[in-house]
Amino acid sequence: MTQPSLLASLDRRLFLRQLSAGAIGLICVSARRDSVLAADESRLLVHSKAPMNAEPLLPDLVRSWVTPVESFFIRSHGNTPEIKADSFRLSIEGLVESPLSLSLSELGRFEQHGVTATLTCAGNRRSEHSRVKPVKGVQWREGAIGNAKWRGARLSDLLKKAGVRESAKHVWFEGLDAVEDGGKTFAFGGSIPLEKALLDRDTMPGALLATTMNDQPLTADHGFPVRMVVPGYVGARSVKWLSKIVVSDRPSPNHFVADVYKLIDEGTLLEVAENGPIYRMPLNSAICTPTAGAALKPGRIEVAGYALPPGVPGVSIRKVEVSADSGRSWTEAKLNSAAADFCWQLWSAEVAVNSATKELIVRAIDSRGEIQPETVRWNAKGYLFNAWHHVAVN
Ligand code: MTE
C-alpha cells in the first residue's frame, strides 16, 4: 500500500470508529487507550496511568531488534489527547516564505521515507541516579528505550516547500496535549537546530514526521496521527501529536526546551539559564537477562542486553563487554544485529559464574574507541544515566 493510500485508509478507519463512537469522541480515545492498557497489565511496568508512563520488562525488551509496539515504553507529560484525523491540520510557520497548513492526506503526498531508529528517554535509568541521591520524576529503570520502524515525510521536504528564510537557525515542534505544570496548562514542545533538520543521509532523515510505527498507524499513546522522530536525539525532541512547526532564529521557549531537558547540578535558576538543551542520546548499554536478584547456578550462563551508540552520525557500537568478577576480566559479547546509525544493537555473551559472583557488569565501546563511562556525575533532573550497568545476582 502506498503511503498516501495508507493515510487515506487510516482517515477512513478513524472516521468509521468515530461514527461508531457517536458524538462522544472520548470513547474513541479511551477504547484505544484501554487496548494499550490491557497489554500493559501483563507486559509493561506502569509508572502512572494518567498521564501514561510505562516501560517493558527487560527480558521482553531484547526479544527482537525491532521492539513490538506493545513492548515499547510510553513517556507522556500530559494525558493522551483525542485527535480527529479528518479535521486535523499541521501548520508550518515562522521564518518561512510561504506558511503551510496541511491535512493528513496533503502530508501523505510528500515523498514517504522509512527509517529504523531507536528512541530513548533522557530519563532512562533515572532510578540509578536516585540511588545516589533521590531525583524527582518517573523512576525509569533501563526500559525507557525501544527500536522501531517509522515512516512518513521528511521534515526537510516540508521546510523546502515552505521556503526557509536565511535568518532561520532552529525548528520548533508543538504537540496537541495539555500538560499541567506549575499551575499552568500548555502544550508539550521541542526544538532542534535547523542543521539537524536538514541533515538527510541515504536512508537516514535528519527528522521525520512519522505516521506509522512498525508498519501500523501510530497508536494514541505514541502520537497518533503524526509525531516527529528525530533519530539520534533524546526522545523529548520527538514531539508526539504534532500540530505546529515553527521556524525560528532561536531554540523554542517551550518549558521542555528552555527549562526541563537540561543537564544541571543542583537545579538553580541560574544553572537553567546558563545551560543549553540536551540533544544527542549518549553511548549506553544494559543487561536485560538475567534480571536483578536472579539466582544463578555455578557454570556458564547466557547474558543478553542492548547497546546504544551515541547520537553522532556515523558512530556505531564496536564492542560490548561483560564482566562476572567486578571488572577484573571481561568477555566480549556477540553483537546480534548489524550496526546502523542511531539504532541499538542487541548482544549476548556466555560468561562463567561461581559462588563468588555477586554481580554482572556490561560496558559498550563505540567505533571511535570511546568507552561507556564507569560512573556518571549525578544531575538534578536525573538525565543521561549511562554508567556501566551492574546487575546484582545470587
Ligand atoms: N510529545 C508530546 N506531545 N508530549 C510528551 O509528553 N514526551 C516526549 C516525546 N514526545 C512527549 C512528546 C518524551 S520525554 C519522550 S521520551 C518520547 O516522546 C516518548 O515517546 P513514546 O511515548 O512514543 O515512547
Please determine, for residue 243, whether its predicted confidence score (pLDDT) is greater than 90: yes
Residue 60 corresponds to which cell in the numbers above?
521482553
- The reported pLDDT for the residue numbered 43 is 82
The predicted model scores a pTM of: 0.90
Average pLDDT on 261-266 reads: 92
- The reported pLDDT for the residue numbered 266 is 86
The number of the ligand 1 atom at minimal distance from the alpha carbon of 228 is: 10
Which CATH number, 3.90.25.10, 2.60.40.650, 3.40.50.2000, 1.10.287.1080, labels domain 284-392?
A: 2.60.40.650
Same fold: 6-274 with 284-392 = no
Q: Is 196 in the pocket of ligand 1 (CB under 6 A)?
A: no
Please determine, for residue 20, whether its predicted confidence score (pLDDT) is greater than 60: no
- The reported pLDDT for the residue numbered 353 is 96
Residue 337 corresponds to which cell in the numbers above?
544485529
The rounded Å distance from CA 314 to ligand 1 centre is: 25
- Mutate which of 49, 75, 278 for ligand 1? The one with the most ligand atoms within 8 Å of its CB, which is 75
- Mutate which of 71, 76, 255, 284 for ligand 1? The one with the most ligand atoms within 8 Å of its CB, which is 76
Please determine, for residue 200, whether its predicted confidence score (pLDDT) is greater than 80: yes
Residue 350 corresponds to which cell in the numbers above?
556466555
More confident residue, 25 or 86: 86
Q: Residue 213 in contact with residue 148, Cβ under 8 Å?
A: yes
Residue 238 corresponds to which cell in the numbers above?
520527538
Which region among 13-22, 232-241, 284-293 has the lowest average model confidence (pLDDT)?
13-22
Q: In this structure, what DSSP letter does residue 276 have?
A: P
Among 37, 290, 305, 102, smallest CA distance to 29 is for 37
Among 344, 15, 308, 4, smallest CA distance to 151 is for 4
The number of the ligand 1 atom at minimal distance from the alpha carbon of 187 is: 3
Q: Residue 173 in contact with residue 277, Cβ under 8 Å?
A: no
Q: Residue 161 in contact with residue 274, Cβ under 8 Å?
A: no
Q: Is 74 in the pocket of ligand 1 (CB under 6 A)?
A: yes
Average pLDDT on 63-75 reads: 96
Residue 118 forms beta bridges with which residues? 147
223-244 b/e (C-beta count within 10 Å ≥ 16 → b): bbbbbbbbbbbbbbbbbbbbbb
Q: Where are the domains of the chain?
A: 6-274, 284-392
- The reported pLDDT for the residue numbered 41 is 53
The share of the chain scoring above pLDDT 90, in percent, equals: 86
Q: How confident is the model at residue 40 (pLDDT cuts 50, 70, 90)?
A: low
Average pLDDT on 260-270 reads: 91
- The reported pLDDT for the residue numbered 203 is 82
- Output the residue whose Cα is nearest ligand 1's atom 24: 74
CA 53 to CA 47: how far, in whole Å? 5
Question: pLDDT of 98-131, one tens digit each?
Answer: 999 999 999 999 999 999 999 999 999 999 999 9
Q: Residue 108 in contact with residue 129, Cβ under 8 Å?
A: no
Reply yes or no on domain 6-274 having CATH 3.90.420.10: yes
The share of the chain scoring above pLDDT 70, in percent, equals: 90
The rounded Å distance from CA 148 to ligand 1 centre is: 14
Q: Tell me if residue 175 falls in helix, strand or coil.
A: strand
The number of the ligand 1 atom at minimal distance from the alpha carbon of 72 is: 24
Q: How confident is the model at residue 267 (pLDDT cuts 50, 70, 90)?
A: confident
Residue 347 half-sphere exposure, CB side, CA atoms within 13 Å?
31
The number of the ligand 1 atom at minimal distance from the alpha carbon of 74 is: 22
Question: pLDDT of 78-91, one tens digit each?
Answer: 999 999 999 999 99
The number of the ligand 1 atom at minimal distance from the alpha carbon of 77 is: 6
CA 154 to CA 209: how far, in whole Å? 6
Q: How confident is the model at residue 255 (pLDDT cuts 50, 70, 90)?
A: very high
- The reported pLDDT for the residue numbered 202 is 82
